[in-house]
């Protein structure tokens, strides 16, 4: 049975003894998330960071780091390299971005000799949204890595998101190729891509899901959008996956849902050999905790 809420992830990872490698965990939100997760037996922690800075932050915010293993890192670059190596060598199951910059974090993951992306794989991002007014979890891509995805990149995004949906208990997810409207015209690339991808799905070129597109966001997630009935779309407010036309659209939609609609979210990079958690410095303790738990859940590599 599909999971309905992100908080339900915790019950599936508790006691699994998975290890997360944190790249420069030195701010209070990530340290609080690590404290909560480790104290609830959701995961074990190796924090590659500067011990004096960890101690300063933990003392200031009264954070108990006694359950962490802290390995000294001399710099941001060193912390990322050590954390990536721990995952690559099988000493940790999940990579977690701490206080390091996204650019440095991605640079370590993408390193051709010591990184975590197999040759030929596309690095993308997938986020799970727990929206109070939506009837199920919603997966979206890409809101953090690929600025303007090509048609082939959207196919990869779909495959990554379908695999995640399968692991969350959705056997045949419904995929919406988001555009400004439902008309398949040449006005925008998103409209053209939506028509092509839905036809590829109809012909069996993209399997294990149902693709509709182009489809507006309203028609994707709102059952009150009657236009879907007029044009014969099958999703009709019941999408499991949203494929956004570009990073600006996706990022804006997600941040609006988070800041104005009380949406809980968690996200990971896709296309890597192990789950890699990518959150922003401004994300809350809750978002960081659930993103780590989500990464641990994916590392189990079994459908729920």
- Rounded CA gap, 100 and 26, in Å? 9
pLDDT at 233: 66
| Average of per-residue pLDDT across 178-194 | 82
Comparing 6-120+272-299 with 124-259, is the CATH topology the same? yes
In sequence order, the β-bridge partners of residue 138 are: 129
Please report how many Cα atoms fall inside a 13 Å half-sphere around the Cα of residue 271, on the Cβ side.
Answer: 25
In sequence order, the β-bridge partners of residue 101 are: none
CATH superfamily of 124-259: Isopropylmalate Dehydrogenase (3.40.718.10)
Q: pTM here?
A: 0.94
C-alpha Rg value of the chain to the nearest Å: 19
Does the pLDDT of residue 278 top 60, yes or no?
A: yes
Does the pLDDT of residue 230 top 80, yes or no?
A: no
Residues sharing a CB contact under 8 Å with residue 110, sequence separation 6 or more, in sequence order: 117, 123
CATH 3.40.50.1000, applies to 6-120+272-299? no
* 211 phi and psi angles, rounded to 5 deg: -110, 130
- Rounded CA gap, 109 and 298, in Å? 18
Range from 103-107, 228-232, 290-294 carrying the lowest mean pLDDT: 228-232
pLDDT at 228: 47
| Average of per-residue pLDDT across 96-125 | 96
- The residue ranges of every structural domain in the chain are 6-120+272-299, 124-259
> What DSSP character marks residue 121?
P
Burial of 105: CB neighbours in 10 Å, binned 0-12, 13-18, 19+: buried
- Rounded CA gap, 235 and 93, in Å? 36
């Amino acid at each position: 049975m599909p999971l309905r809420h992100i908080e339900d992830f915790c019950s599936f990872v508790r006691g699994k003894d998975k290890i997360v490698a944190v790249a420069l965990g030195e701010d209070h939100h990530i340290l609080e998330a690590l404290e909560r997760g480790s104290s609830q037996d959701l995961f074990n922690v190796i924090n590659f960071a500067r011990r004096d800075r960890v101690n300063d932050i933990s003392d200031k915010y009264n954070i108990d780091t006694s359950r962490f293993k802290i390995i000294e890192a001399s710099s941001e670059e060193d912390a990322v390299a050590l954390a990536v190596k721990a995952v690559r060598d099988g000493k940790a199951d999940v990579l977690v971005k701490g206080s390091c910059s996204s650019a440095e974090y991605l640079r370590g993951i993408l390193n051709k000799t010591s990184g975590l992306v197999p040759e030929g794989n596309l690095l993308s991002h997938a986020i799970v949204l727990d929206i109070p007014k939506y009837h199920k979890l919603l997966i979206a891509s890409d809101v953090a890595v690929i600025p303007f995805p090509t048609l082939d990149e959207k196919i990869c995004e779909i495959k990554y998101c379908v695999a995640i949906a399968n692991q969350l208990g959705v056997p045949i997810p419904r995929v919406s190729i988001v555009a400004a409207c439902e008309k398949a015209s040449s006005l925008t690339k998103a409209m053209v891509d939506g028509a092509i991808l839905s036809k590829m799905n109809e012909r069996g070129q993209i399997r294990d899901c149902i693709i509709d597109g182009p489809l507006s966001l309203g028609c994707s997630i709102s059952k009150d959008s009657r236009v879907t009935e007029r044009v014969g779309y099958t999703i009709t407010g019941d999408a499991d996956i949203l494929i956004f036309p570009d990073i600006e659209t996706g990022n804006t939609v997600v941040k609006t849902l988070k800041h104005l609609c009380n949406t809980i979210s968690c996200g990971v990079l896709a296309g890597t050999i192990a789950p890699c958690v990518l959150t922003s410095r401004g994300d809350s303790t809750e978002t960081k905790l659930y993103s780590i738990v989500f990464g641990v859940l994916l590392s189990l590599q079994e459908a729920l």
